[in-house]
Chain A
Amino acid sequence: MPKLDMPQGALALLILRVLRSGPLHGYAIAQRIHALSSDVLRVEEGALYPALQRILLKGWATAEWSTSETNRQVRSYRLTSAGRKQLELEMSAYERVTQAIQAVLRTA
């Protein structure tokens, strides 16, 4: 199965979603998305870090340095309450859109 690149916009949604269960650093975010999508979705460095910077700028997450299990200095991202709200918003919007698309696909 070929590895798919992430569509624009959806990436922010996925990042917010994986951060909901707890703070993660950049590489871990990419890994988590990769794993959860059964190795289908692959997040490249060139897309991940601009997206994270945008999220920081929007105030949906905060970042702080900590030491990882492998004793490395990593920067972890933590969802803010604004980020949670944004996630809810985007998820319900996503749901409505996918339902609508499926309805069309099924009946047309």
Chain B
Amino acid sequence: MVGELLRRLHFLLTYRRRARELEAEMAVHRELAALDGSERPFGNELRLREEARDAWGWTWIDRTLQDLRFAARTLRRSPGFTVVAVLMLALGLGANIAAFGFFNLMVLRPLPVRDPATLVRLERRAPGAYAATLPYPEMAFVRSHVRSLSAVLAIASSGLHPDGDSRALTAHFVTDNFFEELGTELVVGRGLDARDARPGAEPVAVLAYGFWQRRYGADSTVLGGTLRLDGRPTTIIGVAVPRFAGLSLESPDVWLPIERQPHYIAGSALLTDYAGTAQGVQVFGRLRPHVTPAVAEEELRSLAAVLRQEHPQAIWEGEWLRASPGGFATGLMNVGRRGTGPEPPNELLAIFGLLGALVALILVTACANLGGLLLARSVAREREMAIRIAVGAGRGRLLRQLLTESLVLALLGSAAGLVGGYWVLRGLMTLSDTPPWLDPMPDWRVVIFAIAMSWAAALLFGLTPALQTARLRPRPTAVREILIAVQVAASGVLLILASLLVRGVVHASTIDPGFEVQRVLSMNPELRAHGYAPPRARAFLDSLTERLKGVPGVASVSVATQAPIGRGTVTMGIEVEGRPLAILVNHVGHEFFDTMRMPILAGRSFVPDDARVLIVSDAFARRVWPGRDPIGRQLDLGPDSAGRPVPFTVVGVVRSASLPNPKAPDALEAYFPIERDDWPAMVMLVRTSAPIGGMAEAIAGAVRAIDPSLFPAIESLASGLERRVQSTTYIALSVGALGVCALGLACLGIVGLVTYAVAQRTTEIGIRMALGASPSHVLSILTGRFVGPVLVGLVAGIAGAALLSQLLRGELFGVSPLDPVTYVACAALFLLVAAAATLVPARRALKLDPLVALRHD
């Protein structure tokens, strides 16, 4: 068997010579037969030779090459059609390739670090609680006891101010094995190692490539030099290569040894604090060979149980550490998540689901449109097909020929889409400021995807027209009507979703988010990170408040644990009257609602020294107690540390405000008075009576006057909101572009169909007009057939949009996914455009001279 296979291959390699030999041999045969005087053999020599070659089993290559050559010739002969078809496919396939490229970057492609497959990310889990970070001492305990992991890595992120720069840079405090474990290469110098972790070691830093370029102009003499961070001198020992990912989606500027963290952040208790509420560390582990994550999780569960005996307050009951793949970009997301109750689902899945659906829709539109074009061409090629059948081409062969043509088109479109998709992805990534090591250049997975998609597309748009052209399937108009309905449906979905997003963006930038944005600054002094105990934090904030109230232009000052439009959120899972609810928790000072200008709708605001009370948002009240008075109701928020239930009483209802995330306005908010332990976590909010300019410096000055070791991050709420809106703007722009393209395609499809119908029925129209049919009657005959498909497509599109828009809820800034204005406007626009697309070519029919029309054909 193997011998035969090898010979077969050898026959392929010597194909030309063997074909020549066969031809010569058969010629001799004929010659000899003729000499013998027996009758000369009949038959097509070419065919006989081909049949003999069939024995080699390679004729399919021959035929395919023939088909390809023929397809290339056919397409070259109609360059207009070819260009339009390739552009359409480039659009449809390019969108899919770009989307897959993004998916590949986030989920499939391993990080550019050593042996990414054995990296796991460790997160705290317990029944009813979750946190993305571990307290440093817990990490240290795990590191010294764990056997299933060969290494444990930790990262703590912080903003530090280099001298001469008011903007903070991002510093990652990392364990000393970080560079070695990840196999980091350095441009110059060395990475961090065990020497730098020893007590009393000189403070050192490794620079990120981008920071080195920006600040030092890529000067390698910087090695050994001193960089002052928050006033602390630090020796530069190395520069990492640009593609070093560093296990974070945030691009850090410097890496510092985690043991030195308190050196930079005065009073920090990061290294000793077990309390899970303090800033923790992100932890990664390296699995030992042949150890599965599940095995490691089992060991980590028992380690947590051991630790809980020593620290029952800090380690949760039933705590375990989840070990999820850490060597992929997805493994680096959700770094700030913590909370109680069930863990919120991963948003990324929904995003990819939506993205996949959107790009599939544009591909369907493009394919349906191209299918229509090919059908129109099939009419023009009837004569060619008839000739080819007459000279003996089988229908199977014709079908294969036509499909080869489609495949050539699809491959061309796919190649163009690969290039276009790369540029789109690159552009979007530059706009959205992704880390430099996420390289959008297509890798082998993307190329394979592109090829596979082109095959799928070729079948999708090529099969029906090919069947029809090869006369295996009648009723072309039914197929065309279905194609129109599909196009209208798909582009309708895209158009509606795009309009919803645009409305969301407009809504976010024009409509009041429920609280004062324009004149409020938030300032985070990060007291807990600086080791402030609650009484000291309270004293600090009180004196700062007094100081700020004396600053001219300051109208109101207050504090809260959650800055509006802040980065992280704290959700709490509770049960009210048997229903589980996820609520957003905020502990606020008694002047908070005044500072934020959030009106109290019922009951009262907080007063100093309130306890065991809460104020709920309007949405909360309506959801939990619909139609009933919420004031005076009691909520059980779980037992206190001694195990006794602690009821809280609702004292007021405040207008719903999309705090802290303006994208989720239907979140349920609950406000509590400040408890003793909250003080070090407070963010300060300052509302000014004058425009904000210059106020940030005044606030920073007031803070530094009390404690010069603090470097507060100050931001106006308006700019924070803008940042949030921006990401949605990009999405709206992309989807909008797709939607407009799809609408354009659908219009082209309708125009083509009507033009075709007019051409087909010219004689009939001529007769009708000669017999006195009115123009409107002729028009209604012509267009009547398309009203059905367009309406069916539109209804399907609206239904599809209603389903898919639920996934968009988080990006709509409070615009309902079923927003009637959007749906009605889109449907109207669509009908208008469809009517125009029908009437323009139909008008030609009305201008026909009946005599000319009758002579037609």
Contacts and interface: CB of A to CB of B under 8 A. Distances in A.
Interface in A35-53: 44-46, 48-53
A25 B28 CA distance: 10
Contact of B41 (A45, A54, A72): A45
B22 A49 contact: yes
B395 interface: no
Nearest to A82: B3
Interface string A57-75: 1110001010000001111
B294 interface: no
Nearest to B3: A59
Given A44-B41, A45-B43, A49-B52, A57 B11 contact: yes
Interface in B32-46: 32-33, 36, 41, 43
A44 B7 CA distance: 26
A23 interface: no
Contacts of A53: 22, 52-53, 55-56
Contacts of A65: 21
Contacts of B53: 53
B51 interface: yes
A58 B55 CA distance: 10
Interface in B1-45: 3-4, 7-8, 11, 21-22, 24-26, 28-33, 36, 41, 43
Contact of B28 (A58, A63, A72): A72
Contacts of B30: 45
A73 B32 CA distance: 12
Contact of A75 (B11, B25, B43, B48): B25
B48 A49 contact: yes
Contacts of A31: 36
A70 B314 CA distance: 105
B54 interface: yes
Given A57-B4, A57-B11, A58-B4, A26 B51 contact: no
A6 B11 CA distance: 27
Given A45-B29, A49-B52, A75 B21 contact: yes
A61 B74 CA distance: 44
A55 B29 CA distance: 18
A11 to B, nearest CB: 12
Given A45-B26, A49-B48, A53-B52, A27 B43 contact: no
Nearest to A74: B28
Contacts of A45: 26, 29-30, 41, 43, 48
Q: Interface centre among B7, B26, B41, by most A CB within 10 Å?
A: B26
Contacts of A26: 25-26, 28-29
A63 B55 CA distance: 16
Contact of B43 (A25, A46, A50, A74): A46
A49 B36 CA distance: 19
Q: Interface centre among B22, B25, B43, B51, by most A CB within 10 Å?
A: B25
Nearest to B22: A49
A27 B33 contact: yes
A27 B52 CA distance: 15
A50 B28 contact: no
A59 B26 CA distance: 21
A2 B119 CA distance: 82
A52 B57 CA distance: 14
A49 B8 contact: no
B4 A59 contact: yes
B28 A73 contact: yes
A45 B49 CA distance: 10
Contacts of A72: 28, 31-32
Contacts of B25: 25-26, 49, 74-75
Nearest to B51: A50
A27 B28 contact: yes
A50 B54 contact: yes
B3 to A, nearest CB: 6
A74 B26 CA distance: 10
A50 B29 contact: no
Contacts of B52: 49-50, 52-53
Contacts of A44: 41
A104 B48 CA distance: 39
A73 B54 contact: no
A74 B30 CA distance: 12
A57 B33 contact: no
Contacts of B41: 44-45
Nearest to A28: B32
Given A45-B41, A45-B48, A49-B22, A57 B28 contact: no
A46 B57 CA distance: 17
Contacts of B24: 73, 75
A57 B8 contact: yes
B818 to A, nearest CB: 67
Contacts of B36: 31
Nearest to A34: B38
A5 to B, nearest CB: 13
A17 B49 CA distance: 24
Contact of B48 (A27, A46, A51, A58): A46
A48 B55 CA distance: 11
A25 B32 CA distance: 11
A71 to B, nearest CB: 12
A67 to B, nearest CB: 11
Given A27-B28, A44-B41, A73-B24, A57 B7 contact: yes
Contact of A46 (B4, B7, B51): B51
Contacts of A48: 29
Contacts of A50: 51-52, 54-55
A59 B7 contact: yes
Contact of B26 (A49, A51, A54, A58): A49
Nearest to B25: A75
B21 A57 contact: no
Contacts of A51: 55
A48 B4 CA distance: 20
A88 to B, nearest CB: 18
A57 B32 contact: no
A82 B771 CA distance: 84
A54 B41 CA distance: 22
A68 B25 CA distance: 13
A55 to B, nearest CB: 9
Contacts of A56: 7
Contacts of A59: 3-4, 7
A30 B43 CA distance: 17
Nearest to B32: A27
B48 to A, nearest CB: 5
Contacts of B22: 49, 53
A25 B3 CA distance: 24
B471 to A, nearest CB: 30
A27 B29 contact: yes
Q: Interface centre among A44, A54, A56, A57, by most B CB within 10 Å?
A: A57
Q: Interface centre among B3, B48, B54, by most A CB within 10 Å?
A: B48
Question: Which 8 A-B pairs rank lowest in CB-CB distance, beginning with the nearest?
Answer: A53-B55, A49-B52, A27-B32, A54-B55, A27-B29, A75-B25, A50-B55, A50-B52
7 contacts: A31-B36, A45-B29, A49-B26, A49-B49, A50-B55, A52-B52, A57-B7
Given A31-B36, A46-B51, A49-B49, 8 more contacts: A25-B28, A30-B29, A45-B41, A50-B51, A53-B53, A59-B4, A75-B21, A75-B28
Interface of A: 25-27, 30-31, 44-46, 48-54, 56-59, 63, 65, 72-75
